[in-house]
């Protein structure tokens, strides 16, 4: 077997054989295939695609590159959730303890932000003392005692994907649907969860800009999960507007705690409950009421235990940025558009995100929104507050926010886009 023949097969729009796929994934993981060679293959896959058989074998080969976890010893059924990433997407934080409060075990392996999309681990690390890195034994202990754990994937889980993802990020091949699907599903299947709900974002702030591409990605991932014995369902959800009223690490933790306390923005609550219902149904739990678990405080109790079990102080004061800048409405009327991508880039430039994986993030940086599409605003009213420890970044962030919102004449009718756009099962 040689890598040149594998590249040529896909370059010429051929189907990769199972033997070719197994060999190239293993050889790349071991360093036999060079980065520039795998880059050429990834670009050929982006341009020419893969069929379902190829994607399934590619996913299986990445799973086989590392260990597989098993939760059979738990007394509860397991359910996990994965989001393809967005702006203000803090849903994992209230969702994991909420589903745990309703009777499922939630082994949530999460990642860090890169570019305009936020990362769950970065958000939680704004809580003093909280640890993302747990051993497998520690992860099992937290899961068994609190019902939910949110942590980083260990080095032994799909190592081929870690290496390939870093390469795709710097070679313009992140958007390849076969590689997105296999990257996500190799980790989730290797994780060992019994059921999985996928939140596939659609819109300007998402990787999938249109609903047709999002449906293709969702169907591909649902097929991969189903073929591997994991009950899998996907919701297509809107990411044209930021979720909630915050984009940034500590800012989003604060908002998540508000949701767990029975308040919070309506869109965050709606999506959290919708995903919770899907997770519980997939896990075979039919009689639980997520809305009640938010209202009666049981979800908050599970949150506090989960955070404390990972070394965090649920009562600690969250970091606050040293500097703020207020953006006001230039005129009166109805806010009809607030672009998720622009807000995400603005928060990233303020220090909430990173351009490279090794870059630090500011816990208190980000953007706080004071109005959402459909709201009536008056000239001079605050629309957003920018937060950062480095005020020299304000101009850079404001440039990203230029043109991100529209205000129409007072009385203009407005119809909000539904949060859940479709369901793929």
Cite the DSSP H helix spans in 65-201: 92-101, 120-124, 136-146, 159-169, 177-191
Placement of tokens 């702030």 in the chain = 205
**Which CATH code for domain 80-157+168-309?**
3.40.1030.10
141 included as an active-site residue: no
The owner of tokens 């591909």 is 220
Task: Name the catalytic one among 187, 188, 277, 349.
Answer: 187
Predicted pLDDT of residue 169: 77
What is the pLDDT, as a whole number, of residue 78? 97
Which residues have a Cβ under 8 Å from the Cβ of 269 and sit 6 or more positions away? 259, 294
Q: What is the pLDDT of residue 349?
A: 96
Per the annotation, the verdict on 187 as an active-site residue is: yes
Give the active site residue among 80, 89, 122, 161.
Answer: 161
Which pLDDT value is given to residue 415? 94
Active-site position among 116, 163, 168, 305: 168
**What's the pLDDT at 308?**
98
Instruction: Please give the pLDDT value at position 118.
Output: 85
**Per-residue pLDDT for 112 more than 90?**
no
Q: Which of 10, 57, 81, 82 is catalytic?
A: 82
Radius of gyration of the chain from Cα atoms?
21
Q: Is-catalytic flag, 302?
A: no
Q: How far apart are CA 105 and CA 146, in angstroms?
A: 9
Per-residue confidence (pLDDT) for residue 115, from 0 to 100: 75
Relative to beta strand 405-408, strand 333-338 is: antiparallel
Q: Residue 364 above 80 pLDDT?
A: yes
Neighbours of 317 (CB within 10 A): 8
201/358: higher pLDDT: 201
Residue 236: band (very low, low, confident or very high) from pLDDT cuts 50, 70, 90: very high
Q: Starting from the edge strand earliest in sequence, which strands make up the sheet with 405-408, in order? A: 376-377, 333-338, 405-408
- Please tell me the predicted confidence (pLDDT) of residue 268: 98
Return all residues near 49 (Cβ < 8 A) that are at least 6 apart. 177, 178
Residue 414, both tokens:
């407005």
pTM: 0.94
- Domain ranges in the chain are 3-49, 80-157+168-309, 323-408
**How high does pLDDT run on average in the chain?**
95
Pick the CATH number of 323-408 from 3.40.190.10, 3.20.20.20, 3.40.50.720, 3.90.1170.30: 3.90.1170.30
- Give 204's pLDDT tier (boundaries 50, 70, 90): very high
What top-level class would CATH report for the domain 3-49?
Answer: mainly alpha
Residue 359 has pLDDT above 90, yes or no: no
For 253, other C-beta atoms within 10 Å of its C-beta total 23
Compute the average pLDDT of residues 236-251.
98
Catalytic residue among 39, 110, 182, 183: 183
Mean local confidence (pLDDT), 282-286: 95
Question: How, if at all, do strands 420-424 and 366-369 pair?
Answer: unpaired
Cα separation, 96 vs 234, in Å, equals: 17
pLDDT at 361: 93
pLDDT tens, position by position, 146-193? 999 999 988 888 999 989 988 987 888 988 999 999 999 999 999 999
Q: 61 phi and psi, to 5 degrees?
A: -65, -35
């Amino acid at each position: 077997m040689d890598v040149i023949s594998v590249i040529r097969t896909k370059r010429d729009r051929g189907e990769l054989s199972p033997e070719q796929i197994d060999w190239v994934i293993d050889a790349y993981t071991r360093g036999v295939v060079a980065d520039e060679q795998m880059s050429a293959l990834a670009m050929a896959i982006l341009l020419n695609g893969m069929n379902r058989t190829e994607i399934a074998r590619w996913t299986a080969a990445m799973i086989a590159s590392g260990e597989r976890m098993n939760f059979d010893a738990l007394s509860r059924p397991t359910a996990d959730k994965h989001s393809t990433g967005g702006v203000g997407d803090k849903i994992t934080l209230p969702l994991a303890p909420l589903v745990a409060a309703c009777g499922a075990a939630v082994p949530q392996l999460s990642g860090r932000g890169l570019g305009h999309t936020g990362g769950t681990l970065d958000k939680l690390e704004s809580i003093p003392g909280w640890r993302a890195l747990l051993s497998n034994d520690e992860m099992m202990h937290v899961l068994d005692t609190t019902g939910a754990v949110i942590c980083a994937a260990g080095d032994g889980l799909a190592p081929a994907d870690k290496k390939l993802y870093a390469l795709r990020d710097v070679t313009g091949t992140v958007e390849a649907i076969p590689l997105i699907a296999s990257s996500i599903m190799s980790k989730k299947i290797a994780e060992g969860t019994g059921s999985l709900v996928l939140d596939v974002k659609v819109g300007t702030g998402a990787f999938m800009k249109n609903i047709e591409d999002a449906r293709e990605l969702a169907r591909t991932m649902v097929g991969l999960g189903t073929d591997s014995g994991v009950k899998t369902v996907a919701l297509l959800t809107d990411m044209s507007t930021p979720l909630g009223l915050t984009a940034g690490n500590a800012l989003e933790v604060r908002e998540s705690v508000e949701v767990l306390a029975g308040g919070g923005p309506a869109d965050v609550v709606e999506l959290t409950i919708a995903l919770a219902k899907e997770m519980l149904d997939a896990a075979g739990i039919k009689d639980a009421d997520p809305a009640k678990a938010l209202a009666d405080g049981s979800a908050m109790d599970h949150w506090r235990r989960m955070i404390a079990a990972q070394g965090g102080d649920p009562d600690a004061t969250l970091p606050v940025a040293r500097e703020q800048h207020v953006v006001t409405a230039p005129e009166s009327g109805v806010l009809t558009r607030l672009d998720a991508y622009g807000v995400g880039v603005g928060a990233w430039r303020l220090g909430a995100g990173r351009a490279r994986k090794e870059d630090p993030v500011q816990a208190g940086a980000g953007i706080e929104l004071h109005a959402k599409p459909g709201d009536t605003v008056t000239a001079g009213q605050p629309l957003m507050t920018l937060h950062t420890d480095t005020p020299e970044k304000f101009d850079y962030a404001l440039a990203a926010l230029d043109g991100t919102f529209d205000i129409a004449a007072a009385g203009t009718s407005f119809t909000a886009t539904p949060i859940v756009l479709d369901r793929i099962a």
